[in-house]
Amino acid sequence: MTRLTHTAAAVVLIATTALAASAQRKDRGTKADFDGMLRESPAGLKLSNGDVEKMSPVKLLIDKRKDLKLTDDQQARLKAIGDALKEANAVHFKAIDSLRSEIRPRAGASADAERIRTQIARETVVGAVKVIRGNYAARLGDAMALLDDSQKPKAEELLGKQMVESEKTLTEKLGPSGGAAAGGRRGRPLGGAL
């Protein structure tokens, strides 16, 4: 388990235990309002690892190699940057996967404990996505430096469209604050590089 996962699990355990004990002491006869809980918190993590991978500007440049007329050398160098990003982000993608079950409401628990537990898990997912997108932004300059002046305008256009799609995906799958909280800025590519 990673440090991020250990920390998230510890916080979730402490919050859940404290709230469950508190709820049991206050009123042993009440049942959790699962209908209300499902309305107020996500039923599960809608954001997939594939969704986050599609936000990689380096992956986009590689995928659009024909449109950009990339040389074999440019493709190879972009692939090396992409491989380094995959390695750097692997632990964060694994954390997102492990938190997938934490976001689902659990039957039999108090509504307050579930709301806090799922919110902590969601915030941890948002934090992992923010780190991944920060890593993407950090390597975007290296990738753009590989392009010649005739390729850059098309790349900037493609990256601008990708940013809009990324924000839309985050908003739809993490909620209205998901995009900004996960390291994006409305209408501007990551890191303001374009």
**Which comes out higher in pLDDT, residue 143 or 15?**
143
Q: How far are the Cα atoms of 2, 22, 170 from residue 96, in angstroms, in the given order?
A: 11, 29, 14
DSSP state, residue 190: G
Q: Report the pLDDT averaged over residues 89-96.
A: 95
Q: Estimate to the nearest angstrom the gap between the alpha carbon of 57 and the chain centroid.
A: 15
Tell me the residue range of the domain where 148 lies.
Answer: 3-192
Q: Estimate to the nearest angstrom the gap between the alpha carbon of 73 and the chain centroid.
A: 31
Is the CB of residue 180 less than 8 Å from the CB of residue 186? yes
144-161 pLDDT, tens per residue?
A: 999 999 999 999 999 999
Enter the tokens of residue 96.
């997102």
Tell me what pLDDT residue 79 has: 98
Q: Report the pLDDT averaged over residues 90-115.
A: 84
**Which comes out higher in pLDDT, residue 38 or 150?**
150
Q: Collect all residues with Cβ–Cβ distance below 8 Å to 120 and sequence separation of at least 6.
A: 8, 11, 12, 15
Q: Give the count of domains, the chain.
A: 1
Enter the tokens of residue 149.
């002046």
